[in-house]
Amino acid sequence: MADRRRTHPDATPFREAISQWQLAARTEVKRASSLPSSMFDAADGMIEARLAETVETMMRLLQHAPDDPNQRRASGEHLEQRAEQVSQDELRAMPTAFGEAKVAVDLDEHVAAEYFNLLVEVWRTGDAATAEAARERLLADIPADAAGELDAATAVIAQSLRGIAGGHIDADADLQDLERLCAAVAAAARLSSGRGEDEPA
Amino acid sequence: MTASPLTPRLLSAVADFAHALVQASFNRALHARDSDFVRESMQDVVAALGTLSSMGVETPLRLQLDERRIFHDGQPLDGPSLQAATLLAQCAERDIAVIAFDERLDATELNRFFDLLTSPVNVEAFARHNRAAAMCAFDVKHVKVTLRHAADPGDRSRTLGAPDEALRRYQGLADALQNNHRLALHDHELAFDAAADAVEDSLRPLDEPSLLLSLSMQDDVDRFTIGHSVRVALLALQVARGVGASGDQLVRVGAAALMHDIGKSKVPQEVLFKQGRLTPEEWQAMAEHPRLGAEILLQQREPVDPQTISAAFCHHMTCSGGGYPRTKTPMQPSATSRLIRVCDVFEALTAVRPYKRALTPIEAFAVMRREANDFDPRWLTNAVRVLGLIPNGSRVQLTDGSEGVVVAQTRALLQPKLRLLTGPGGAALPADHPGEVTVGHPFEGQIPMLACVKTADRELPLPDVDSLDPAGNGPTAHDACLGHGHSRGRDAGHVDRT
């Protein structure tokens, strides 16, 4: 599509044109209104605003809209205004759907388990610095006896797996991975046994 | 050329300009002065000034400042003021009461003006009333400042907006969060205690408790995540308080909610601020923010509260195990993370974004109810019961044409208590009218019913309360989470970029 601005080199600049249109529209509405001019703004400024917006929208469409709507879609330049639609039936159902009283919730529910799993996750998957930070927090925040149990459980699982794997685990990296995996298994086992849920993190 | 007083549309355009100015001020604090990002935000200010000029607003455009607010022509611009703590502090330090912007101002010169505002040398210059020399030294010609002692009394604020105390607390939260985002971006140690202190401060009783939350309903054009996070924190605090959380729990929940998006400080800005649809690669980068947030918080020398770290990591996880980030370790979000998720999505749905209109609260809750598996039904119910389907501050119209503002909730969700603004058909209220009615309760021989909720850009018709289906209509959030309801099976990506 040809750029209309280029076809009219002497045309009024866009913003100035909008401004002129707004002024003209405002003047016209005030002239046509039976309200005195001084009352007009105070009484119904929104009419003026809405008219000005309409004019501006028309101007923008004239200035920018491509001939082919598909071309506009493909350009990706426009903003996609999403509008969630909610039906009257859905609104009507709301008071009943939320008719019950407030429900008591313990804000500390699952906090310890969530934090523990998060630390294990970051320890397993984070970069070196973050994994180290997670390890330190695990050691610092998990009670010593629990950490001791965890280490013992990890060692047992690791030993068993090495036995199963035989000579297939050689590299240090593999061993480290194995130890991390074992720690996660031990942590999960510890959690599923019910301990840790109530411990202060 | 300008009409006096300004029409709502023009005042809104002035507020847009002030928003752009505040955003530019924030970006100057966050990024290098010559970065593309700063340059773009300076250009945004100049463009907003150009728009004002083209709309017929007289320039130089004068903004008046006090310690808490930005005003134009005596009208408080509460929306931009909420985010303006940095700019207001810089101006207060230099005793600046009025800033006037000439339409010939360009982005480079505006950047120089911010040099002047951020340079400690100029505090002394201004204190000696050498502002003209300071402005000259920085080659600033199209911005004029008036010092407080010299300001025309007419430039002082004449009308009150939001009460000072509520505004101060909101700004305290926004300021603490802005500072932490800036520190995180530059890999510095966070000022977590300042965030917790701001939350604690926000919890102190106010004369009118709903004021702080009503501030959170202010529209803003925050391109960062500050306004969003502050609003999420206020919503979470309100809901948690509504179910009887202790003071200590509230501080931890509030701090966790305030910091939940700290990972976004590490998301590439071109992704974070993109106004169109994200590509899959961009979505992937955006979806990293929970993990990045947890990593930032974990690496602090001074240990951060575990609830804050976990909420940063888990606030996009659903109660049914979906959402993101995907983990190798099975995760079950805590009650705190689930509460923050509900508030996070509610805030996103009810906020204006470049790519979507704002839903009203009742619509937002309806949309969340559709996706009930994604949310803890207990928190969804609590949020509805505490905030209301038509929250306090909502403007409504009654079936007889009267208009009013919701001032209190009742047990019946669509029957709030109203302060009437007009009588039927927009007529003035009689002098002896008590001014307040409760929807659905007889008043002067009539039973007022809600007709619609009015927002800045539209009216949402409400269903007739008489025809409410007492048996319910469709599955409830509880049903769905227990597996008895239908769900459209939304992916986590459906929700807005919260």
- pLDDT given for residue B250 in this prediction: 93
* Best of B14, B49, B299 to mutate (most A CBs within 10 Å, chain A): B299
Which run of H or of E encompasses B397? strand B395-398
Q: Is residue B472 part of a domain?
A: no
Q: Which two tokens stand for residue B21?
A: 């100015």
Q: Do residue B372 and residue B400 come from a single domain?
A: no
The single-letter code of the amino acid at B269 is Q
pLDDT per residue rounded down to tens, chain B (498 residues): 444 566 777 888 888 899 889 888 888 877 788 888 788 889 999 999 998 888 888 889 999 888 778 888 878 887 777 778 788 888 888 888 889 999 999 999 999 999 888 877 777 777 666 777 777 778 888 998 888 766 655 544 444 445 567 777 887 888 888 889 888 988 899 999 999 998 888 887 765 555 555 555 554 434 456 778 888 998 999 899 989 999 899 999 999 999 999 999 888 877 877 767 778 888 889 999 999 999 999 999 998 999 999 999 999 998 877 888 988 888 889 999 999 999 999 988 887 766 667 889 999 999 999 987 889 999 999 999 999 999 887 889 998 888 888 888 888 888 999 888 888 877 888 777 778 888 888 777 777 889 999 876 788 988 875 544 333 333 333 332 322 333 322 333 333 456
- pLDDT given for residue B153 in this prediction: 54
Q: Is residue A89 part of a domain?
A: no
The total of structural domains in chain A comes to: 2
> Rounded CA gap, A171 and B126, in Å?
67
Q: Is residue A183 part of a domain?
A: yes
Q: Which two tokens stand for residue B461?
A: 């018709």
Q: Do residue B230 and residue B372 come from a single domain?
A: yes
The total of structural domains in chain B comes to: 3
Closest CA to B309 of A132, A189, A194, A201: A201
- pLDDT given for residue B467 in this prediction: 41
List the domain range (segments joined by +) for residue B38: 8-155
Residue ending a domain, choose from B120, B155, B190: B155
- Residue with structure tokens 């013992």? A152
Q: What CATH number corresponds to the domain at position B322?
A: 1.10.3210.10
Q: Is residue A181 part of a domain?
A: yes
Residues of A in contact with B310 (CB under 8 A): 111, 114-115, 118
> Rounded CA gap, B358 and B496, in Å?
11
Interface of A with B in 88-127 (CB under 8 A): 88-111, 113-115, 117-122, 124-126
Q: Do residue A55 and residue A115 come from a single domain?
A: no
- pLDDT given for residue B308 in this prediction: 96
Q: Is residue A5 part of a domain?
A: no
> Rounded CA gap, B371 and B81, in Å?
35
> Rounded CA gap, A15 and B166, in Å?
39
Q: Do residue B340 and residue B215 come from a single domain?
A: yes
Contacts of B194 (CB under 8 A, 6+ apart): B176, B179, B180
Residues of B in contact with A97 (CB under 8 A): 369, 472-474, 476-477
Residues of B in contact with A15 (CB under 8 A): 50-51, 54
Contacts of B455 (CB under 8 A, 6+ apart): B358, B360, B395
Q: How close B118 gets to chain A, by Cα (Å)?
A: 33
Whether residue A75 lies within 8 A of chain B, CB to CB, comes out as no
Residues of A in contact with B190 (CB under 8 A): none
> Rounded CA gap, B20 and B93, in Å?
21
**Strands, E assignment, B89-244:** 96-101, 143-147
Q: How close B259 gets to chain A, by Cα (Å)?
A: 16
- pLDDT given for residue B297 in this prediction: 95
In a 13 Å sphere around the CA of B471, the CA atoms on its Cβ side amount to: 1
Which residue among A15, A98, A133 places its CB closest to the CB of B50? A15
Contacts of B173 (CB under 8 A, 6+ apart): B198, B199, B202, B230, B233, B234, B258
Q: Do residue B344 and residue B408 come from a single domain?
A: no
Find out whether B107 and B42 touch, Cβ atoms under 8 Å: yes
Residue ending a domain, choose from B155, B190, B219: B155
Closest CA to B454 of B384, B404, B386, B417: B404
CB contact under 8 A, B327 and A121: yes
In a 13 Å sphere around the CA of A78, the CA atoms on its Cβ side amount to: 15
Dihedral angle sign, alpha carbons of residues B50, B53, B57, B63:
positive
CB contact under 8 A, A96 and B253: no
* Best of B52, B298, B331, B482 to mutate (most A CBs within 10 Å, chain A): B298
Q: Is residue B477 part of a domain?
A: no
Interface of A with B in 42-71 (CB under 8 A): 45-46, 48-49, 52-53
Q: Is residue B482 part of a domain?
A: no
Helix (H, G, I), strand (E, B) or coil at B139: coil
Q: Is residue B217 part of a domain?
A: yes
Cis peptide bond N-terminal to B354, omega within 30? no
Q: How far, in Å, are B330, B477, B478, B486 from residue B483 at the CA level?
A: 21, 10, 9, 8
Per the document, the length of chain A is 201
Query: In this structure, how many other beta carbons lie within 10 angstroms of the beta carbon of residue A60?
Result: 12
User: Which residues, in sequence order, are bridge partners of residue B146?
Assistant: B98
Residues of B in contact with A184 (CB under 8 A): 328-329
User: Which residues, in sequence order, are bridge partners of residue B72?
Assistant: B75
Residues of A in contact with B56 (CB under 8 A): 19, 22-23
Q: Do residue B369 and residue B293 come from a single domain?
A: yes
DSSP characters for B332-355? Answer: ---HHHHHHHHHHHHHHHHS-BTT
Q: Is residue B72 part of a domain?
A: yes
Q: How close B2 gets to chain A, by Cα (Å)?
A: 11
- pLDDT given for residue B268 in this prediction: 85
Interface of A with B in 146-175 (CB under 8 A): none
ipTM entry: 0.70
- pLDDT given for residue A21 in this prediction: 67
CB contact under 8 A, A117 and B332: yes
* CA A147 and chain centroid, separation: 36
The single-letter code of the amino acid at B452 is C
Q: Do residue B188 and residue B134 come from a single domain?
A: no
Residues of A in contact with B5 (CB under 8 A): 41
Q: Do residue B453 and residue B340 come from a single domain?
A: no
Q: Do residue A61 and residue A132 come from a single domain?
A: no
pLDDT per residue rounded down to tens, chain A (201 residues): 334 444 455 666 666 666 666 666 666 655 655 555 554 444 444 555 555 556 556 665 555 544 443 343 333 344 445 567 889 999 999 999 998 888 889 998 888 888 988 998 998 888 888 988 888 888 777 654 555 666 666 666 666 666 666 656 556 666 667 767 777 666 666 554 443 333 333
Q: Do residue B342 and residue B206 come from a single domain?
A: yes
- Residue with structure tokens 């998990």? A142
Find out whether A86 and B366 touch, Cβ atoms under 8 Å: yes
- pLDDT given for residue A71 in this prediction: 40
Q: Is residue B117 part of a domain?
A: yes
Q: Is residue A85 part of a domain?
A: no
Q: Do residue A121 and residue A183 come from a single domain?
A: yes
> Rounded CA gap, B41 and A115, in Å?
39
Beta-sheet strand order (sheet of B75-76): B75-76, B70-72, B61-65, B96-101, B143-147
The single-letter code of the amino acid at B434 is P
Contacts of A33 (CB under 8 A, 6+ apart): A40
Closest CA to A53 of B10, B17, B48: B10
Q: Which two tokens stand for residue A159?
A: 């030993």
CB contact under 8 A, A103 and B249: no
List the domain range (segments joined by +) for residue A46: 12-67
Q: Is residue B100 part of a domain?
A: yes
Q: Is residue A40 part of a domain?
A: yes
Which percentage of chain A shows pLDDT scores above 90? 6
Dihedral angle sign, alpha carbons of residues B479, B482, B488, B494:
positive
Q: Which two tokens stand for residue B260?
A: 């939940």
What letter would DSSP give residue B449? -
The backbone torsions φ and ψ at residue B490, rounded to the nearest 5 degrees and listed phi first, read -70, 140
* Best of A18, A102, A132 to mutate (most B CBs within 10 Å, chain B): A102
Q: Do residue B371 and residue B400 come from a single domain?
A: no
Give pLDDT tens digits for A130-167: 988 888 888 777 654 555 666 666 666 666 666 666 65
Q: Is residue A84 part of a domain?
A: no
Find out whether B110 and B143 touch, Cβ atoms under 8 Å: yes
The CA R_g of chain B, rounded to the nearest whole Å, is 24
Q: Is residue B183 part of a domain?
A: yes
In a 13 Å sphere around the CA of B322, the CA atoms on its Cβ side amount to: 15
DSSP characters for chain A? Answer: ---HHHH-TTSPPHHHHHHHHHHHHHHHHHHH-SS-HHHHHHHHHHHHHHHHHHHHHHHHHHHH--SSHHHHHHH--S---B-----HHHHHHHHHHT-SPP----TTTTHHHHHHHHHHHHHHHS-HHHHHHHHHHHHHHS-HHHHHHHHHHHHHHHHHHHHHHGGG--SHHHHHHHHHHHHHHHHHHHHHTTTTSSS--
Residue ending a domain, choose from B382, B407, B441: B382
Q: Do residue B252 and residue B337 come from a single domain?
A: yes
Q: How far, in Å, are A110, B18, B28, B127 from residue B89 at the CA level?
A: 42, 15, 14, 15
Q: Is residue A100 part of a domain?
A: no
